[in-house]
């Protein structure tokens, strides 16, 4: 067993780091440990267990089984056994990773882990991961080789938002040798993932072949590289502060949008900083420099009748009437037709939310859903998508086409195919969900009241679209 270095890692050195991170959150919250079973995460878990009483938090462990190795199930059982011995609440999650051509397995696994971690965190919860100083140096070098800006070169922050909680990395000040010495001192039993030796992975190649050569010439390479990451992090904060000050001056007409015209008045470097910050605040990864340039030249400068699009992994940037929209990729256009009697909410396909139909004497003001009574007699209806030939008939108004309704409602052409259309049994348009009610041929002998149509749970409420309930008043004889 090697002797411990003078600056050996110890629970006493971990305590102030964890205490400083947890001081920003109520002490009664839960601290999760991301535990893979490897040496680094086992050290973090063991040290936190020893400090559990002083930390004054509920301690839990989450293990992600990626399913990429035949022994991954056995690894999960090992982690569960360790947590049983330590008396720690253990949670295992199985990742579903579908790799497509051209996608990085490392990036997919990392993104999947992050989603699973975020799903576990409640408000105020913290997740501690075991990245150390050598990991930080590798991350900066990988970012440098990708041509990243200061945000990428800042590498891994010590503290960052994650889901409803916060991600902390309390071991960034320690070298891997410190953690290994601690593990051996305490006779910990850890797993070795054979994929960590696979040089087809960029990080492994850097770790096993490049970093040792750098340390031979510059023994403090990891420390000085990590210091550069900290300098970049400071610069990134300054850039973000400037972008935050500029964002209100280039706001679009709808919530969470930017004005293409106002953005175009900024100097190019400021416009790029604003775009990156705007995307980050909405949870999207910023694109590379060429795509940012395309946004500024093709999208922001597009004709009013154009439908520009710049897309990258997880995001589509579009423009409509001077507003720039950052969206999750639109799903396939729905081709289905649904029957509905209106008595129960109707779940729509492709994550498009649900429709709810009610009757309300007060014409359904916003927030009055609880006071609405179910309509006892509703004729059979059809819900359809993307039927541009339909017309809307409203009391005391000329018939209007769907295109007219969408234009007046400010609904972009690229979104119209996803708006549910409510038709009667004869194919007459009753409503364009969230846009316009087109009347309803009711039966006055039954005393039927105005119908209230709600479209809930769709992906576009943040932009102010389709959020108001529609009132469908009876038209025609009766």
pLDDT at 14 over 80: no
**How much is the pTM?**
0.76
Check pLDDT > 60 for residue 362: no
Which pair of structure tokens corresponds to residue 238? 């300054």
Taking 80 as the threshold, does the pLDDT of residue 21 lie above it? no
Gap between the Cα atoms of 307 and 300, Å rounded: 11
Mean pLDDT of all residues in 247-274: 93
Task: Out of 105-109, 272-276, 398-402, pick the least confident.
Answer: 105-109
Instruction: Write the CATH number of the domain with boundaries 11-233.
Output: 3.40.50.620
Which residues are within 8 A (CB) of 448 and not within 5 positions of it... i.e. 6 or more apart? 359, 375, 377, 442, 474
Quick check: do 11-233 and 251-327 share a fold?
no
Tell which CATH classification among 2.120.10.30, 3.40.50.300, 1.20.59.20, 3.40.50.720 matches the domain 251-327. Answer: 1.20.59.20
Domain spans in the chain, listed from the N-terminal domain onward:
11-233, 251-327, 338-472
- Whether the per-residue pLDDT at 443 is higher than 60: the answer is no
When pLDDT is cut at 50, 70 and 90, the band that residue 477 belongs to is: very low
What is the tens place of the pLDDT at every residue in 278-300?
A: 999 988 888 888 999 999 888 87
For 242-375, list the strands marked E by DSSP. Answer: 258-259, 309-312, 315-320, 323-327, 338-340, 346-347, 354-359
Judge whether 35 and 121 are in contact, CB under 8 Å: no
Q: Give the pLDDT of residue 373.
A: 37
- Enter the tokens of residue 413: 């052409």
Which of helix, strand or coil describes residue 224? helix
Q: Who wins on pLDDT, 7 or 404? A: 404
pLDDT of residue 224 exceeding 50, the answer is: yes
Nearest Cα neighbor of 33 from 16, 15, 47, 19 is: 47
Instruction: Please give the average per-residue pLDDT across 66-78, as a whole number.
Output: 83
Note whether 422 and 381 are within 8 A (CB).
yes
As given in the structure block, the two tokens for residue 104 are 């990085």
- State residue 202 phi and psi, 5-degree precision: -55, -45
Establish how many alpha carbons lie within 13 A of residue 168's alpha carbon, considering only the half-sphere containing its beta carbon. 23
Give the lowest-confidence range in 89-93, 117-121, 384-388: 384-388
The whole-angstrom separation of Cα 435 and Cα 394 is: 13
Rounded distance between C-alpha atoms, residue 60 and residue 122, angstroms: 12
Q: 466, 459 in Cβ contact below 8 A?
A: no
Mean pLDDT of the chain: 83
> Does residue 363 register a pLDDT over 60?
no
């Amino acid at each position: 067993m090697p002797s411990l270095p003078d600056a050996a890692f110890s629970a006493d050195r971990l305590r102030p780091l964890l205490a400083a991170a947890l001081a920003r959150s109520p002490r009664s919250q839960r601290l999760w440990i991301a535990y893979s079973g490897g040496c680094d995460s086992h050290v973090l878990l063991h040290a936190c267990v020893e400090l559990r009483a002083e930390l004054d938090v509920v301690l839990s462990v989450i293990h992600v089984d990626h399913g990429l190795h035949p022994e991954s199930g056995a690894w999960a059982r090992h982690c569960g056994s360790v947590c049983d011995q330590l008396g720690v609440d253990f949670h295992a999650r199985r990742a579903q990773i579908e790799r497509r051509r051209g996608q990085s397995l490392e990036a997919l696994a990392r993104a999947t882990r992050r989603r699973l971690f975020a799903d576990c965190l409640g408000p105020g919860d913290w997740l501690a991961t075991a990245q150390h100083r050598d990991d930080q140096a590798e991350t900066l070098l990988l970012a440098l080789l990708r041509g990243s800006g200061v945000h990428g070169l800042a590498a891994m922050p010590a503290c960052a938002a994650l889901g409803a909680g916060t991600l902390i990395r309390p071991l960034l000040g320690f070298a891997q040798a410190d953690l290994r010495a601690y593990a051996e001192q305490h006779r910990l039993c850890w797993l070795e993932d054979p994929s960590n030796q696979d040089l087809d992975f960029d990080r492994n190649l850097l770790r096993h072949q490049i970093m040792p050569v750098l340390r031979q010439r510059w023994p403090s390479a990891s420390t000085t590289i990590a210091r550069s990451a900290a300098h970049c992090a400071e610069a990134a904060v300054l850039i973000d502060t400037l972008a935050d000050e500029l964002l209100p001056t280039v706001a679009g007409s709808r919530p969470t949008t930017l004005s293409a015209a106002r953005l175009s008045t900024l100097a190019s470097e400021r416009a790029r900083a604003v775009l990156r910050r705007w995307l980050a605040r909405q949870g999207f990864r910023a694109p590379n420099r060429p795509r940012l340039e395309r946004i500024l030249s093709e999208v922001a400068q597009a004709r009013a009748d154009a439908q520009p699009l710049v897309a990258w992994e997880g995001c589509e940037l579009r423009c409509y009437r001077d507003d720039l929209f950052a969206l999750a990729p639109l799903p396939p256009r729905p081709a289905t037709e649904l029957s509905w009697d209106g008595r129960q909410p109707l779940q729509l396909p492709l994550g498009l939310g649900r429709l709810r139909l009610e009757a309300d004497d007060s014409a359904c003001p916003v927030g009055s859903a609880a006071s609405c009574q179910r309509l006892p007699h509703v004729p059979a209806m059809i819900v359809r998508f993307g039927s541009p030939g339909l017309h809307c008939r409203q009391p005391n108004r000329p018939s209007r086409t769907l295109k007219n309704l969408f234009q007046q409602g400010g609904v972009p052409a690229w979104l119209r195919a996803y708006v549910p259309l409510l038709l009667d049994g004869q194919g007459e348009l009753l409503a364009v969900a969230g846009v316009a009610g087109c009347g309803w041929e009711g039966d006055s002998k039954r005393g039927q009241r105005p119908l209230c149509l709600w479209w809930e749970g769709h992906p576009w409420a943040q932009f102010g679209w389709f959020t108001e309930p529609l009132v469908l008043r009876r038209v025609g004889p009766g």
